[in-house]
Chains A and B, each alone.
Chain A
Amino acid sequence: KNEVEQSPQNLTAQEGEFITINCSYSVGISALHWLQQHPGGGIVSLFMLSSGKKKHGRLIATINIQEKHSSLHITASHPRDSAVYICAVLYSGGGADGLTFGKGTHLIIQP
């Protein structure tokens, strides 16, 4: 089974800290997504990557295709960043045509 592993599962940090969430996967992919799910339950797409690095405001996502690994960074973290961050991949070979998801990282930023 193609797995998507995220770490850490839970992370509590102080406002202003630099945050890193990691994601690894087992086989070749055509794209990797980072999603944000707030306590209200809605899911928002933050990034879609197939190589390199993307930046949006205080959020940075990187991917290393050779190592099958991606990271999501949050600079100058703020309590409003508190949410569940989910890594999801689209496999390039056979298998499911939709996204395969990690279990998520529950982030709490304390003021």
Chain B
Amino acid sequence: DAGVIQSPRHEVTEMGQEVTLRCKPISGHNSLFWYRQTMMRGLELLIYFNNNVPIDDSGMPEDRFSAKMPNASFSTLKIQPSEPRDSAVYFCASSWDRNTEAFFGQGTRLTVV
């Protein structure tokens, strides 16, 4: 398996634009997590899916952020409209379940100017 695949690796966008980040988890993993990493706050959980269902979205900053998992092999994180303070590295991770080892994607570095 190629591991967790995220795209794009880098994204630069203008404030106000819509941004969509994509993630393909490892085949067979039932849990998927979106994390955000900033210099100020470090790594933080945004949302957790189990069997494609959002279980915990308490970390999603505000209504501008939304995440979907239409099937077991694909998830998106959307920001609309984007703001400069959204600039961060966004990681997707998957695991068999929340109690097992997590495998991280390479991350998407988002810059909103």
By a beta-carbon cutoff of 8 Å, the part of chain A in contact with chain B is 30-31, 33, 35, 41-45, 48, 86, 88, 90, 96-104
By a beta-carbon cutoff of 8 Å, the part of chain B in contact with chain A is 33, 35, 42-45, 48, 50, 55-56, 58-59, 89, 91, 93, 98-104, 106-107, 109
Residue of A nearest to B44 (CB): A101
**Interface of chain A: mostly helix, strand, loop or mixed:** strand
Q: A44-B104, A45-B101, A48-B101 are in contact. Are A97 and B55 (CB under 8 A)?
A: yes
Contacts of A30 in B (CB 8 A): 99
Residue of B nearest to A43 (CB): B104
Q: Please, how many angstroms separate the alpha-carbon atoms of A80 and B101 in the complex? A: 23
Q: Please, how many angstroms separate the alpha-carbon atoms of A25 and B24 in the complex? A: 31
Q: Are B42 and A98 in contact (CB under 8 A)?
A: no
Q: A30-B99, A48-B101, A98-B48 are in contact. Are A88 and B106 (CB under 8 A)?
A: no
Q: A97-B48, A98-B56 are in contact. Are A31 and B99 (CB under 8 A)?
A: yes
Residue of A nearest to B41 (CB): A103
Q: Please, how many angstroms separate the alpha-carbon atoms of A45 and B44 in the complex? A: 16
Q: How far is the CB of A34 from chain B (nearest CB, A)?
A: 11
Residue of B nearest to A50 (CB): B99
Q: Are A103 and B42 in contact (CB under 8 A)?
A: yes
Of B33, B89, B106, B107, the residue contacting A98 (CB under 8 A) is: B33
Apart from A30-B99, A41-B106, A96-B58: 10 A-B pairs, beta carbons within 8 A: A42-B104, A42-B106, A43-B93, A48-B100, A90-B99, A98-B33, A98-B56, A98-B59, A100-B45, A102-B42
Of A42, A45, A88, the residue contacting B43 (CB under 8 A) is: A88
Q: A33-B102, A41-B106, A42-B104 are in contact. Are A99 and B45 (CB under 8 A)?
A: yes
Q: Please, how many angstroms separate the alpha-carbon atoms of A42 and B5 in the complex? A: 12
Contacts of A99 in B (CB 8 A): 33, 35, 43, 45, 102
